[in-house]
Amino acid sequence: MTYATPSAAADALKATLDPSRKSWIESANNPLCDFSIQNLPFGVFSDPRNARNARNTGRRVGVAIGDAIVDLAALHDAGLLTLPALSDDAAREVLNAAALNAFMAAGRDVWRSVRVQLSDLLARHDDNGSDNDNANANAALRDDAALRERVLVPMADATLHLPVDIPGYTDFYSSKEHATNVGAMFRDPKNALLPNWLEMPIGYNGRASSVVVSGTPVRRPNGQLKLPEQERPVFGACRKLDIELETGFFIGCGNALGEPIACEAAEDHIFGMVLLNDWSARDIQQWEYVPLGPFNSKGFATTISPWVVTLDALEPFRVQQPAQEPQPLAYLRHSGRHAFDIALEVRLRADGAREATTICRTNFRHLYWTMAQQLAHHTVAGCNTRVGDLLGSGTISGPTEDSYGSLLELTWNGKRPVVLKEGGTRSFIEDGDELTLAGWCQGDGYRVGFGICAGTILPALPVSE
Amino acid sequence: MTYATPSAAADALKATLDPSRKSWIESANNPLCDFSIQNLPFGVFSDPRNARNARNTGRRVGVAIGDAIVDLAALHDAGLLTLPALSDDAAREVLNAAALNAFMAAGRDVWRSVRVQLSDLLARHDDNGSDNDNANANAALRDDAALRERVLVPMADATLHLPVDIPGYTDFYSSKEHATNVGAMFRDPKNALLPNWLEMPIGYNGRASSVVVSGTPVRRPNGQLKLPEQERPVFGACRKLDIELETGFFIGCGNALGEPIACEAAEDHIFGMVLLNDWSARDIQQWEYVPLGPFNSKGFATTISPWVVTLDALEPFRVQQPAQEPQPLAYLRHSGRHAFDIALEVRLRADGAREATTICRTNFRHLYWTMAQQLAHHTVAGCNTRVGDLLGSGTISGPTEDSYGSLLELTWNGKRPVVLKEGGTRSFIEDGDELTLAGWCQGDGYRVGFGICAGTILPALPVSE
């Protein structure tokens, strides 16, 4: 699919965001469904019907729509999807892949073209009558049961995998409310924010190897615990296991070593966003983190949601970021709106409980530092980023006590436990608890949602002495 | 090459360490040559004669010997090298590779078999008379000028590349002298060591993307600097650019998520070691590092030496680590000797100077925490490691003022500049300076050396406002 002019391409992209567009896949039109035709997030899946692909893993690239996954490789094989500037063989390799990296590396024109083609293919015909070619392709898929069977995989039958092979994972600390709460709890309530916090998006390198996809069980870590009544630390299971409600974004287009990314241009490097739970062992963290930062308290697992929601899909939900005072240094300045209105929730379900309790409701828009500022800061000293790098927002806390993004804050370090719907309370996470993050943008009659980011806690390994 | 019994394999491996063994490549027998026949380190190279390999990068696996590189792919093609349990095609793929990862992933039996075969092939015939097959292969290479031409590449003609595709880089802080110096300078000379330091090898996640090979120029970073006389930070070029003299080790065999590596078994997971310069922007670091650790002050570049010296080659230089008091917690205990006697130096050559000045002489054996303890600690909470992960020692400082592994310590934060041989002094690194790390184990009449780890500083990018 090529366009006569850049403005034709922009118009086609804009049409994919039309709130009135509906899909002939009816489940996508439910106003509470995360995967509307306006969303079209990318992921990696496998299913029992196609246990093997060219590389023998069975994994391939898909797009979520309603309760189904569009198998992009199958769509391409059917001649209904083209990847601009890629040969058929190259496109097949990009789509029959165990991670989105090659697809991301193909560049923004390819991501956008696929988005436009899918939106046209999946739209209801009456919304799509202006272009005969598109209408014909749309009907070819919609009206051919055998083809639909090959191309549309029921999400319930599929396994969702880590969507990206992540070369680097960086985690920021960009919520002013979160940093203030932590500072007030552990340092000085009157000077809760450290002096550097308002000057830069503070961040640190996380552990990429232990990023796992939603649904992966998480084992409670063992580690050194410094108990106040004992002179030396003891070794044992974490007693203050916590979540951190975050989002993350993936680099779709990196930068070379020594060539910083300007703040104004930073969003061009971002492919899309996921939900991210930065599991944290608070007691291990408190003992280990001075002076080089968190290590074992974070490195045991980080869970992300399987569907990457593109910045293109989030465009209608762009809002103004919080005012920044003092004005940041020049390299951190950008004009316009760089926050997004993304509702976020945390749910806790105890082992055996039927229902989860929502323990936090907040919004991504509260974040003080923007993704663009995070990326500009990350690279300003010359650090290179690579396709697939994951950058976490840091815990997203809102202004009210029920909008804090960690149990540490919600229970004020265990002092005021949260009460669960079916009885019981929680200061920190217990074995068997399932923690779920959810997030979505609420449009007029439709959602652009992230799905969920969930994990259940397994008991710690026994400690032998 | 297979052995009738495990003890035959152990004997063959032991023979490669015989100090009296000499090579028919005479340059390897120079007692000051880093690349003796006892060493046989692995790396990745390309050369103008073979600009393309199967994967079209021209890079392939080599072993350093004297002033030459053994082209393992060419040796394999000549029928003089076999990789146990790998088909010819698989071996060819492992050896015609742009990184050592596949070779490392092939497992320790393969690394050791290649070491034994190379030692036999390259030994002087009179040292190698007991095995007719070996003697024949040895002569086949030694006496065939055309074959030698294909297999032995002059190191001077070759380009050495980053030897490993590094999925994760972790840096420790394991020199007691270094931690004490830094604590005395920036905190309290009477309580220089933080309380957790003697209980665990403190470490943090570094930035893997910016690890570069020796010889790569390093651009002075820009960043936020907090000057004492100004209320707010300014943005500009680092004024306190420093080296950190370190070694690093590569994971040859990782662990699964949630399955810690026991301290006693940790060395089985290590492929080998390199020199590592953890370039540090001290002024950026001091302003940014609280509370999550160093970020932009370290992420702009880390340089490693190109040849990976295997633990097998280091075996004769194993020594007792420093006494640890208090005794570490059980998960950090191991019996036996786990330090290595590796002489280390730092040299500084100003732009235009003929000769470098050696500004530091120290030894790896001073390190308080061992590599085994670092790896056990890294994984004890469940963090997984992967083939090719790089773990840095942290700055290695000795007990005397000329044995400190950073300019920060050598000049005591600039208060007593080091004097250069050809005139001038240095508090920190200036543009155009070339900094070189060197390291070697001194055997009886031979060395097992690391070569060098060098980088020259380019001026910072201009700052626009």
- In chain A, what residues touch B326 (CB-CB under 8 Å)? 232
Asked whether the beta carbons of residue B168 and residue A224 sit closer than 8 angstroms, the reply is: no
3-state DSSP assignment of residue A179: helix
Residue the block writes with tokens 């949601």:
A305
Q: HEC states along chain B? A: CCCCCHHHHHHHHHHCCCCCCCECCHHHHCCCCCECCCCCCEEEEECHHHCCCCCCCCCEEEEEECCEEEEHHHHHHCCCCCCCCCCHHHHHHHHCCCCCHHHHHCCHHHHHHHHHHHHHHHECHHHCCCCHHHHHHHHHHHCCHHHHHHHEEEHHHCEEECCCCCCCEEEECCCHHHHHHHHHHHCCHHHCCCCCCCCCCCEEECCCCCEEECCCCEECCEEEECCCCCCCCEEEECCCEECCEEEEEEECCCECCCCCCCHHHHHHHEEEEEEEECCEEHHHHHHHCCCCCCCHHHHCCEEECCCEEEHHHHHHHEECCCCCCCCCCHHHCCCCCCEECCEEEEEEECCCCCCCEEEEEEEHHHCCCCHHHHHHHHHCCCCCECCCCEEECCCCCCCCHHHCCCHHHHCCCCCCCEECCCCCEECCCCCCCEEEEEEEEECCCCEEEEEEEEEEEECCCCCCC
* Residue B192 pLDDT level (bands cut at 50, 70, 90): very high
Distance of alpha carbon A22 from alpha carbon A33, whole angstroms? 12
Averaged pLDDT, B31-60: 84
Work out the average pLDDT over B132-155.
Answer: 89
Strands B339-340 and B302-304, sheet pairing: unpaired
* B232-257 tens-digit pLDDT: 999 999 999 999 999 999 999 999 99
Instruction: Supply the pLDDT for residue A55.
Output: 47
Q: What band does B187 get if pLDDT is binned at 50, 70 and 90?
A: confident
Which of A373-377, B56-60, B77-81 bottoms out in mean pLDDT, i.e. has the lowest? B56-60
Q: What is the pLDDT of residue B1?
A: 55
Topology of the domain comprising B169-458: Fumarylacetoacetate hydrolase; domain 2 (3.90.850)
Q: Cβ A167–B209 below 8 Å, yes or no?
A: yes
Estimate to the nearest angstrom the gap between the alpha carbon of B22 and the chain centroid: 25
Residue B54: predicted pLDDT: 46
CB atoms inside a 10 Å sphere around CB A390: 22
pLDDT at B51: 60
pTM for the model stands at 0.97
How many cross-chain Cβ pairs, A to B, lie less than 8 Å apart? Answer: 195
Tell me if A382 and B287 make a contact (CB, 8 A cut-off). Answer: no
Domain ranges of chain B: 6-161, 169-458
Question: Rounded to whole angstroms, what are the CA distances from A272 to A53, A379, B270, B443?
Answer: 25, 19, 37, 55
Residue B137 pLDDT:
80
Contact B461 A386 (CB under 8 A): no
B52 pLDDT tier (thresholds 50, 70, 90): low
pLDDT in tens, B331-380: 999 999 999 999 999 999 999 999 999 999 999 999 999 999 999 999 99
Structure tokens given for B8: 């035959």
Question: Do the Cβ atoms of A296 and B383 come within 8 Å?
Answer: yes
What is d(CA A395, CA A279) in angstroms, rounded to the nearest whole number?
11
Q: Say how many residues make up chain B.
A: 465
Tens-place pLDDT, residues A20-41: 999 999 999 999 999 999 999 9
Q: What is the mean pLDDT of chain A?
A: 95
User: What is the H or E stretch that residue A446 is in?
Assistant: none
Q: Is the peptide bond before B291 cis (omega within 30 degrees of 0)?
A: yes
* pLDDT at B50 exceeding the cut of 90: no
Cβ under 8 Å to B: A residues 85-144 = none
Catalytic residue, from B178, B269, B338, B377: name it.
B178
Predicted-complex ipTM score: 0.96
Q: How confident is the model at residue B55 (pLDDT cuts 50, 70, 90)?
A: very low
Q: What's the mean pLDDT in B193-205?
A: 97
B380 touching A, CB under 8 A? yes
Q: What is the pLDDT of residue A121?
A: 96
The answer to whether the CB of A389 falls within 8 A of the CB of A254 is yes
Q: What is the pLDDT of residues B255-293, one digit of tens each?
A: 999 999 999 999 999 999 999 999 999 999 999 999 999
- Say whether residue B461 is in contact with chain A using an 8 A CB cutoff: yes
Say yes or no for a CB contact (<8 Å) between A377 and B326: no
Query: Contact A125/A24 with Cβ under 8 angstroms?
Result: yes
Chain A residue nearest residue B394, CA to CA: A292
Q: Which fold has domain A6-161?
A: SH3 type barrels. (2.30.30)
Is the pLDDT assigned to residue B125 strictly greater than 80? no
Q: Which residues of A touch B329 (CB under 8 A)?
A: 224, 233-235
Residues of A in contact with B278 (CB under 8 A): none
Give the per-residue pLDDT at A406: 98
Task: Give per-residue burial for A293-309: e unless 16+ CB within 10 Å, then b.
Answer: bbbbbbbbbbbbbbbbb
Which of A98-112, A186-200, B94-108, B122-136 has the least mean pLDDT?
A: B122-136
In the prediction, which pLDDT does B3 show? Answer: 73
Nearest partner of B298 among B364, B375, B238, B383, judged by Cα: B238
Nearest CB among A194, A238, A381 relative to B299 is that of A381
Contacts of A258 in chain B (CB under 8 A): 219, 300, 461
The pLDDT averaged over each successive group of 10 residues in chain A (465 residues) is: 78 96 97 98 90 65 98 96 95 96 97 97 71 77 95 96 98 98 92 96 98 98 96 98 98 98 98 98 96 97 98 98 98 98 98 97 98 98 98 98 98 97 96 98 97 98 84
Mean predicted confidence (pLDDT) in B431-437:
98
Tokens of B157: 């003609």
A331/B contact by beta carbon, under 8 A: yes
